[in-house]
Structure 1
Amino acid sequence: MNLVNLESVSHAYGPKPLLSDVSLGVEAGERIGVVGRNGGGKTTLMSVIAGTVRPDSGRVTHNRSLRVGFLSQHDPLSPDDSVREIVLGELAEHEWAGDQQVREILSNLIGDLDLDAKVGDLSGGERRRTALAQLLIDDHDLIMLDEPTNHLDIEAIAWLAGHLSGRKSALVVVTHDRWFLDAVSTRTWEVVDGRVERYEGGYAAYVLAKAERARIAQAAEERRQNLMRKEIAWLRRGPPARTSKPKFRIEAAQALIANEPPARESVELVRFATARLGKTVYDLENVTLHAGGPDSGPLVLDRLTWQFGPGDRIGLIGVNGSGKSSVLRLLADTVTPDVGRVVRGKTVRLAHLSQELAELDPARRVLETVEEVRKYLQVGKKEWSASQLLERLGFKGEAQWKVVGDLSGGERRRLQLLRLLMDDPNVLLLDEPTNDLDIETLNELEDLLDGWPGTLILVSHDRYFLERVTDRCVALLGDGKLSLLPGGVDEYLERRAEGTAVTARVGTPTTASTTTGATAPATSGGRSASDVSGTSSGSAAVATDQAKAGLSAKEERELRKELNRLERQLDKLTDQEARLHAAMAEAASDYAKLGSLDAELREVAAQKDTIEAEWLEVADRLGD
């Protein structure tokens, strides 16, 4: 019999959905452990099931006359009440003293604590034990506990696990104590990305089943990636204009890349950036700049004219000492050019992250330090609170209440970067922003910058981050110019190896109106990109004609029939493979069945590899 039913329940705090279209039920006598990342929605799920929080959408149904006992993380005990009044209520002493279960609860949770003590005089641990004792003494059909093991010692935790296992009540518990989960749970729910994934067994069984699901998913993803590489390589072999490619192979490639995350909506972001910034961001007019001041230090810019437009995302590349930071300081108006002028747009709202971080108040809390700048930030189409953005950049849960003076160097850098973003700039100058950041935080920062509209100029030695966040690169090659690099970092490395300047220069008197959106310059070999592409296409076309020239009409017809037969077999094997993956996901906790399904999947994969090799051989002979 179901005690509680959730039907298509969704709930969010701010823009972050904690539960998304969740449907599940709690049965009588069931004991469920709830796991998930901090801030992932575990407490929200508990509150929705208990009925203390009404979801944004969906329906929560309680069985008639259901008695729910809910221990939240923040107990609502009145400080003026005594422990006796809260735990025992109006029970006479002979009533509770003659009840073995009540005596056991008092002995293990209250212990030597004075029953007449006021709650306001208790420590946090004593308050927690008092609230837990109050809940356990009453009879409930469903007991819900949010972090019940906090402030309990080993013996009390062991007793609590045995006590809960012996009760007939249904149980839903959130805890980070893995031993406790294993001791009390018969099922495990994982709250992740708004979903609730369900597993049979306690924590150990959950870990094994999740690892098996991850292995299956990884195998499927590796298979998909391998196929995608084959498909893309095949599709690029011939001229793009050819239409003789079999429809099956083109559709297969499109299906393989269908789940890839979309690129930045560059057009929309530029349009938004233009609306916020206007047409002028920075215009450099005949600028000369030395790194050490007027006519001192290395020459960085020599009579340069350049425009930075709204929505430009530019990576600035150069060796150490080439003047990259000097260019950023020039744009930030902290240094002035030796000659020429820098025209700054009237609507520019600048944020400059230098390598020397601004001093933060060491006595303030992390969240307070961000909220003093701004409490909410609009990124693309979403609004984020300061707390949510801190969570994205690695300050999860209690970390938001750390004192700034206790932060590491990497944490301080993350905090300073977020403060800059919270000021809602429309121009970002970032000088080595990835210093001291871990991979997970870098992923979050990249994702955050993807939806940020405005002009971005980045200096970084992190090539992956540079290519991931920017749309084009320019280089300081020691000739006083900013050189556009259509080939990105690869082209810069080639130019450095050759010891020559890039032919695409944007600083001569004849290019005063050149912008970063100008026509791409010639490639390193002196030919334009279209020349190179055309040559490659022409070679492929000649090779194709030569391949087909040796076939008679009859041979070509037979090969076409064979190609169609192989394609039909590939279709069937692909469907069979998908069905096996689905069956393995459903049987994640049945290891015997998983072994059988895995063996069958390997056999199908081997057949598919063989047929694909045959298909490629036939296609090569046809020249398709």
Structure 2
Amino acid sequence: MNLVNLESVSHAYGPKPLLSDVSLGVEVGERIGVVGRNGGGKTTLLSVISADVRPDSGRVTHTRGLRVGMLTQHDALDPAMPIREIVLGEKAEHEWAGDQGVREILSNLIGDLDLEAKAGDLSGGERRRTALAQLLIEEHDLIMLDEPTNHLDIEAIAWLAGHLSGRKSALVVVTHDRWFLDAVSTRTWEVVDGRVERYEGGYAAYVLAKAERARIAQAAEERRQNLMRKEIAWLRRGPPARTSKPKFRVEAAQALIADEPPARESVELLRFAAVRLGKTVYDLEDVTLHAGGPGSGPLVLDDCTWQFGPGDRVGLIGVNGSGKSSVLRLLADTVQLDSGRMTRGKTVRLAHLSQELAELDPTRRVLETVEEIRKYIQVGKKEWSASQLLERLGFKGEAQWKVVGDLSGGERRRLQLLRLLMDDPNVLLLDEPTNDLDIETLNELEDLLDGWPGTLILVSHDRYFLERVTDKCVALLGNGKLSFLPGGVDEYLARRAQGTALTARTTSLQPTPAQIQPAAPQEGMSAKEERELRKELNRLERQLDRLGDQEAKLHAAMADAASDYAKLGSLDAQLRDILDQKDTVEAEWLELADRLSD
């Protein structure tokens, strides 16, 4: 049974039709993800479905008594109203405190916020969480969310996905967070050119289905062209000769991507990176850092050692306020460390995309603003003009001649990023680069970064983007420690869920077991058993030290052999073998350390 039906709905703002003769329905319990370009009509579609906007033509019908909950991009919270009243309404404390579902929502969205705090005193992220908590505590038949993951960290996004998947309500969600789409959606709607194209499954299934549709369309066009050629030949020659009909077969989903190359040619990029960067990028030794500079603000790093090499692609993750942006500012030399030493390579050419939008001349044209940096840039083996790169990041045709002062926040973000790339850096520090970018633009940005040969350090709550463009993850938990996560975001979430502190690991983002002290041995363990375990632990530590030395030598050899592709490939194979051995030894060491600490 459909909760909502749209029949031949059309709607436009100005001359541009956002919805054109759209007919569709939302079924009971259905979970739908809505995708499409910015300004393409996604928010309009939600507003029409929820009956907040009356369409220019067509009909929208709701089942009787339908309870709709809507989260818009901009909340309408009363600034004088406290969080308690906004979220819990008139519920008595014993009423909501005894409800496990309410407590879970408050714990994961409100957290440590004072329930008596006024909405007017909250930050944008805190207001967003408050509005979301208010919506989820209530009961609805249909929940509609417009960019619900904005201002949420990775942990909160994972919780929200699980919460929504467990609810019986139907769901329609607009988001650019592709991991979230895959986690919650059973169907995908794409709003494009006034139409709503429908696909089964979440984002991954949508991508495969769209690729298959494109392949079929291409085959149909080739068939049409072939028939036209035959028709022209017949007109010239008379009756056509017998010809065999072309055969087209529909490939399975796996066949669509079976022969695809890897997203990044790691060896090739490392060769370019080593040539441009040399052996040293950043070396941090025994660094202590506070967010506001020496002794000011929260502690971010406490006596940490960390190394970045040429071609490293690192994702920084952690709870909000843990200091991820402060680490980027340290690397950009805009905040001073308390103690320790940071060495930057002599060949480093840095570009830092912060969360604040850089000042741009509002009277200049978009293309002029980019070309004043550089008109052409080499990305990998290909040269791109400023106009071509603008087109890839969503500035097509006349949009390149728009005045900067008329751009939206998302467009300014894209322009700022492109100006940084045109300056030809070899080290990129990116702080939330995906803010306000739609999925198509994100795909283009990922493809652009795939061919960019340099060191990349990324802070992002967009899990899909993070896992797509980086090769390793490091966690900051706000306790001054770093943790290398071989298991990536999944490992981070698992350890956070267990409530255990992440283990500090250093030296090229690899662990230094000597810095991880096991707790006292379990009561009841014999002295002999403890001695044997510690003896084995020491042996593994020595083995890790030897493997670390071999790894360092291989990195140096690869930098020296940057122009010898064959030798570089051989060295890379040796490096992978060393890293596999290190992973095995580390796993054994951690298992023994856990036995000693149990």
- Tell me which interval the TM-score lies in, with the shorter structure as reference length: 0.3 to 0.5
TM-score normalised to structure 1 length: 0.44
TM-score normalised to structure 2 length: 0.45
